Each structure stands twice: as C-alpha cells, then as structure tokens.
C-alpha cells in the first residue's frame, strides 16, 4: 500500500539530495573536522559550508550558528544560558502552548530551582495574550521564550513585536522556531531575537541534529561542557554527516520557501475547505489567516481522534491526533485545552501537516476516506444524533 504522509510537523522525509550530500561522510570521509591534517580539514571545510547554509536560511552570520543534537537540546541550552547570564533574576516567561521541550523545562525550573514562571495564556483562536505578557515583564525577568509557530495548530506568534519589547526592557528573548523554519521567512537580524532554536528533522534532514542561533555579543554559557568545539559553545565531536545534511536541507528549504507558501498552502486550503464542506460538525482550530501554510488542525464533533487515526491508517494515511499521546492518555492536548476548544470537538481533532512532497491526488484520497470514516464513527457515538452533536 502506498503511504500518504501528512504528519510533517512530527517529522519529515529526509530529502534524497540530503542523503546524497551526507553519504561520503559516513564512509571514506570520516576525518575529525578539528584535526590539523588535510584529511580532517576537508571535512572541516564542508562543516563550514553547512554553517554558512544554515546562516543563510535565517539571515544570521555563520559564527552565530551552534550545532546541537536536536531542537530540545537547543531549547534547553538557550534557557540555561539566559538564567546563567542573569543569576539574580528569578522570573521567567513562556506561553501555555509550548512544546514539552520548553513547557516541561519551565515547570522543572519552577519546581526544582524556585523560579517564578508566567505561562502566558492564548485566546480561543490560539493567539497570544500579549497584554498579560507585557504586564508580567519586570526587572526580575531573566528570559522570555516563545515558540514562533505552534506545532499543533500552526498559529504564529508576534515574535518581532515581543522581541522588540524584550529588548526595550533588557530581557533576553529566545524563540523556538522548530516548526516555523522552512515554512516562514525567518530573519534573525530583522526580528532581533537573542537566541533561536531549529531542528533538522522538521526540514527534511535526519533526526538528531539541531541548531541554536546565538546573537553576536550575547554572554552565552555552554550547556554541554567539554572540548573547544563550536567555538567553546558546545562540547562534543561534531556529528559531521548530519551537520552537512542539515546544511543541504537548509539550502533546499530556502529554495522551497515560496513553494511552501503557494502550492503547499493551496493543498492545505483545499483539504480544509473540502472537509468543512463535506462533513458537518467540523471546526478548524486556530486563527485561519495567521497559521503555518502546511498545518491543518481540524476537529470533528462527537468522535475520537484515535479512532479516526486508526481508520486512516488502514487507508495508508498518516496524520496525528490532538491528544496528549505522549502521556498515553486520550485527554485533549494542553494546546487545545489552553484554547478552550469544546471537549467533544477537541477529542475528535486531527492534525494534517503537509510538505511539498504531497499532491492534490493525495488530498482527494484523504477527503474520500474521511467522509465514510466520520459517518461510521458517528453512527456508534452517543454524542451524535440526527445529524448533530447532543
Ligand atoms: N519545539 C517544537 C515546536 C517542536 O515541534 C519540536 C518537535 O516536535 C521540538 C521543539 C523538539 O525538537 P526535537 O525533536 O528535534 O528535539
């Protein structure tokens, strides 16, 4: 059976061009980029090129790029660097819809290290309550960390505006741009963020490689203390093949950005409009006109998301549900709860997240599959009667 993959916010296919670029560095070109000999140095040159390619994608300087093992490590490194830079400040700010890489770290810092945390709420459309955010900022605030775009709904936060407010108050500003990278035009110079995280496996590079952008001049302390690698900002011999692959993926992402915001967005909009038209009791989660171009979080009243996923899986269609699947429960995710999505619709939420590898035929296949799936599940649902939710 052919797989229709619409779970690209979870992870992406590694691009053929990326695999090709990486292959020699698993085999004959195994030198250490820090070595003095030519054999190692030729790998070093390729790592340098990769650093430049990453920098080009986000309009950074290459020496502002630090390679890490993943988005989670980048997030952790950024937050610890900020609190180390301002040890006397005991207040930290984030939103209540962050990825666990930030959300759980902030909860940990509150519980184990005595930090006061403001979890800024969002409204019913997933938009940040900036009034609460700005009122909570004080001289005691060490860092504000906000995701550029939400992994479940795709809702985009006003990063440039918040970065400016943070700068005015002398507060470090970090953004988790793991989902925004390759989907939005990211310009760290224009935005003025202090630190930014991105992750390879969301942009067609392998899992297990990430980046932390650190603005020049920021007093950064390493999270992984060790050798002199990454200019003393992250110990550990470089994962050369993956770094080189990520460099290629960034180059491709830059070239594909327009495609993402035209053709991929059109496919997402087509899938959305067809599902809304063909299936009653259906709601899109998140603000319609300020979302990632590839993401559709859509709730079907009176059915279980997990049951939808199971039936989609039988058709070879991969998507995600809006449940807190990592906890093994069927409760709606913290993002949908924060948005106060009604319980019976939150339960039936599915996230489709597309890439430029998807086609219109695939969207038609999903639409054709979804109509009888929802019909069938509603026949069994105690919450659905006479064509509506009870
Ligand atoms: N931040 C966001 C918004 C994410 O979506 C993810 C991954 O799903 C991460 C951080 C973590 O990235 P990684 O899987 O590379 O650790």
Domain of 179: which CATH number?
3.40.640.10
Which residues does 120 contact at the CB level (< 8 Å), separation at least 6? Answer: 93, 94, 95, 96, 128, 129, 132, 133, 136, 146
My answer on whether 190 and 319 are in the same domain is: no
- The residue whose CA has the least distance to atom 10 of ligand 1 is 71
- The residue whose CA has the least distance to atom 5 of ligand 1 is 151
**Of 212, 233, 252, which residue sits at a domain end?**
252
Residue range(s) defining the domain that contains residue 331: 4-10+258-389
Nearest Cα to Cα of residue 1 among 361, 350, 317, 355? 317
pLDDT the model gives residue 324: 61
Tell me, in angstroms, the distance from the centre of ligand 1 to residue 376's CA.
34
Tell me, in angstroms, the distance from the centre of ligand 1 to residue 382's CA.
36
* Protein residues whose CB sits closer than 6 Å to any atom of ligand 1: 70-72, 99, 101, 147, 151, 176, 178-179, 199, 201, 210
The pTM of the whole model exceeds 0.85: yes
Domain count within the chain = 2
Tell me, in angstroms, the distance from the centre of ligand 1 to residue 73's CA.
9
- Annotated active-site residue 70? The verdict is no
pLDDT the model gives residue 327: 47
My answer on whether 292 and 199 are in the same domain is: no
Q: pLDDT tens track of the chain, all 390 residues?
A: 789 999 999 999 999 999 999 999 999 999 999 999 999 999 999 999 999 999 999 999 999 999 999 999 999 999 999 999 999 999 999 999 999 999 999 999 999 999 999 999 999 999 999 999 999 999 999 999 999 999 999 999 999 999 999 999 999 999 999 999 999 999 999 999 999 999 999 999 999 999 999 999 999 999 999 999 999 999 999 999 999 999 999 999 999 999 999 999 999 999 999 999 999 999 999 999 999 999 999 999 999 999 999 999 999 999 999 766 554 567 889 999 999 999 888 999 999 999 999 999 999 999 999 999 999 999 999 999 988 888
My answer on whether 133 and 71 are in the same domain is: yes
**Of 194, 228, 252, which residue sits at a domain end?**
252
My answer on whether 302 and 155 are in the same domain is: no
- Of 70, 250, 318, 325, the active-site residue reads 325
């Amino acid at each position: 059976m052919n797989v229709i993959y619409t779970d690209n916010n979870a992870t992406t296919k590694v691009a053929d061009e990326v695999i090709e670029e990486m292959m020699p560095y698993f085999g004959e070109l195994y030198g250490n980029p820090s070595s003095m000999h030519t054999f190692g140095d030729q790998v070093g040159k390729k790592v340098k090129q990769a650093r430049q390619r990453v920098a080009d994608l986000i309009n950074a300087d290459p020496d502002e790029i630090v390679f890490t093992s993943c988005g989670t490590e980048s997030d952790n490194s950024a937050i610890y660097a900020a609190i180390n830079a301002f040890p006397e400040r005991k207040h930290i700010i984030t939103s209540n819809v962050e990825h666990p890489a930030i959300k759980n770290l902030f909860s940990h810092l509150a519980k184990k290290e005595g930090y006061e945390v403001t979890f800024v709420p969002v409204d019913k459309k997933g938009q940040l309550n900036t009034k609460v955010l700005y009122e909570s900022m004080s001289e005691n605030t060490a860092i504000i960390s906000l995701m550029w775009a939400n992994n479940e709904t795709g809702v985009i936060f006003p990063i440039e505006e918040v970065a400016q407010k943070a700068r005015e108050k002398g507060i470090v500003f970090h953004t988790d741009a793991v989902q925004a990278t390759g989907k939005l035009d990211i310009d760290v110079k224009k935005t003025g963020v202090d630190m930014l995280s991105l992750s390879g496996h969301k942009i067609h590079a392998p899992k297990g490689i990430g980046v932390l952008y650190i603005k020049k001049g920021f007093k950064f302390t390493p999270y992984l203390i060790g050798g002199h690698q990454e200019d003393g900002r992250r110990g550990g011999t470089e994962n050369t093949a993956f770094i080189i692959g990520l460099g290629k993926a960034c180059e491709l992402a830059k070239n594909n950005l327009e495609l993402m915001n035209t053709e991929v967005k059109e496919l997402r909009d087509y899938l959305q409009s067809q599902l809304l038209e063909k299936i009653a009791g259906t709601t899109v989660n998140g603000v319609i006109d300020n979302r990632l171009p590839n993401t559709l979080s859509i709730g079907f009243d009176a059915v279980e998301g997990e049951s939808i996923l199971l039936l989609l899986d039988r058709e070879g269609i991969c998507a995600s549900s809006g449940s807190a699947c990592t906890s093994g429960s069927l409760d709606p995710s913290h993002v949908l709860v924060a948005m106060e999505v009604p319980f019976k619709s939150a339960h039936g939420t599915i996230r489709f997240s597309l890439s430029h590898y998807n086609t219109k035929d695939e969207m038609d296949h999903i639409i054709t599959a979804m109509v009888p799936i929802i019909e069938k599940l509603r026949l069994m649902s105690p919450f659905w009667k006479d064509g509506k939710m009870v």
